[in-house]
Amino acid sequence: MRGIDTQVRKIRRRVFKEVANLAYHSENLIADMEALPYEIVNYEESDYHESVYRERSIVRERLRLALGLSLRPENKPVHLTQGLVESDIDEKYYEPPLMQVIPSACNACPENQYMVTGLCMGCTAHPCQEVCPRGAISFVKGKSVIDQEKCIKCGKCKAICPYDAIAHQVRPCSASCGVNAIKSDASGRAVIDAELCVSCGQCMVNCPFGAIADKSQIFQLIRAMQSGRKVIAQVAPAFVGQFGQGVTPDRIKGALKELGFYDVYETAIGADIGCRAEAEHYVHEVASGNQTFALTSCCPSWAVLAKKFFPETISQISNELTPMVATARVIKEEHPDACVVFIGPCASKKLEASRRTVRSDVDFVITFEELNGMFDAKGIDLSKTDTDDKMEDATGAGRGYGVAGGVASAIEDYIREYYPDVEVHIEHAESLSECRKVLMLAKAGKKNGCLIEGMACPGGCVAGAGTNIAINQAAKAVAGFKEAAHKKIPDQKV
């Protein structure tokens, strides 16, 4: 549903805007927070739920998550603003887990169910009944009916129906989860198994009820900017095109400075560093036979997937810093007193930045969607922003990391340029289910000698949970930005 301005997206953006407004303008934080649900849902009749009271209840939980707080339990009296004072700080803040299901928003969709629709013609052949191995299909008043107690979900009835009258209903959130982390509570509502979840956010993107959300740090980030600290942004390669047609990278850089950032760097700088290092590693370790295969490490959800479900592959994961962390270290070398903010498309980068080894490098992580809320709160129109400060930090190789296959392509181009005699074997997988398949093949020895790039999101970073536009539109914008780079690949380190 990326690229479609649905009601869910409108509400999310409004919530981010209002949370930013709290940070920018509130003089009585608790009172203003309590008033927000009534300002956001300020109508008498609901078009989306049975009442405005349920909508306000959902908005209250969204507000808490946007402030970095956890959802309130349903069986205990917890005030809306509980924890707000503790979260009114100028450093990274949120309580784990990152991804959460808002119970009052969940529709308790069928997990896996075959249903006969009104398209059933009651045909004489009755092929659906004939192929059912459990006798779960009967005819009532000339129409097929499926006994859910007997149905084993084999799908044979759907496949044979000449009228496509049988629908397979699955939870959109569950269908999009490649690690089977979506479970059910006692009421049939979705819950996320934190032990399995890799925080890719695809469940959040695919839930048509907007019942799944991640936590944000925009409130604390604004507090950091208000504290007088030097706050520097680094923007992920997928940023281009995310803020409207005609909004160039240079305009985005200007808008970020208008918002209060001291300076803006391309995260593609760190991608260039990683490209060089991983290419050299492939040449000297994998191509030489010292290592069986190599896994890229740019996507946190891919790396966590490998560590959780394929621990025997851990030694094959690149030890190089991810572009986010490498760029942060470049920034802090040049500005030791700076606070670094990663702005990207990815929910799982928030998880990465919370790791003990990364905390000192990356102070905040926000998404493009959350940044839009900050622009809205400040009334910044990016189409009118003007700047002479150019965005020209990185090579085309680093900028290409924003799309699926971009990491492997950059490494391959580097090797072909500087090691033309080395044969390169590339594999890339996009979506967690495909990533699991390629890791199973690698585990079985079917990918020896390969450099394997994994991306949790189908389409790569441009399909991340925090993006604003359609995936194909974003991919096209990244391709143009990559082509505009002054250099195509990084220099060889000597």
Q: Residues 330-367: pLDDT tens digits?
A: 999 999 999 999 999 999 999 899 887 777 899 999 99
Average pLDDT in the 307-328 region? Answer: 92
pLDDT digits (tens, 9 = 90+) for 123-143: 999 999 999 999 999 999 999
Structural domains of the chain, ranges and CATH numbers in brackets: 7-103+183-219 (no CATH), 112-170 (3.30.70.20), 229-483 (3.40.50)
Q: Is the peptide bond before 97 cis (omega within 30 degrees of 0)?
A: yes
What is the distance, to the nearest Å, from the Cα of residue 105 to the centroid of all Cα atoms in its chain? 20
Q: What kind and span of H or E run contains 309?
A: helix 300-309
Question: Closest Cα to residue 489, out of 279, 235, 344?
Answer: 279
Average pLDDT in the 56-75 region? Answer: 94
Question: Closest Cα to residue 246, out of 381, 95, 392, 342?
Answer: 381
Tell me how far apart the terminal alpha carbons of the chain are, to the nearest angstrom. Answer: 46
pLDDT score recorded for residue 384: 85
The number of beta carbons lying within 10 Å of the beta carbon of residue 419 is 17
pLDDT score recorded for residue 25: 95
pLDDT at 2 over 90: no
pLDDT score recorded for residue 318: 87
pLDDT at 303 over 60: yes
85 contacts 126 by C-beta, under 8 angstroms: no
The DSSP output letter for 463 is: G
Percent of the chain with pLDDT over 70: 100
pLDDT digits (tens, 9 = 90+) for 183-226: 999 999 999 999 999 999 999 999 999 999 999 999 999 999 99
pLDDT score recorded for residue 96: 79
pLDDT at 494 over 60: no
* Confidence (pTM): 0.93
pLDDT at 421 over 90: yes
pLDDT score recorded for residue 297: 86
The residue count of the chain comes to 494
Residues linked to residue 429 through DSSP beta bridges, in sequence order? 454
448 contacts 436 by C-beta, under 8 angstroms: no
Token pair, residue 249, equals 């990278």
Q: Give the C-alpha separation, 41 to 7, whole Å.
A: 13
Q: Name the band, by pLDDT with cuts 50, 70 and 90, for residue 391.
A: confident
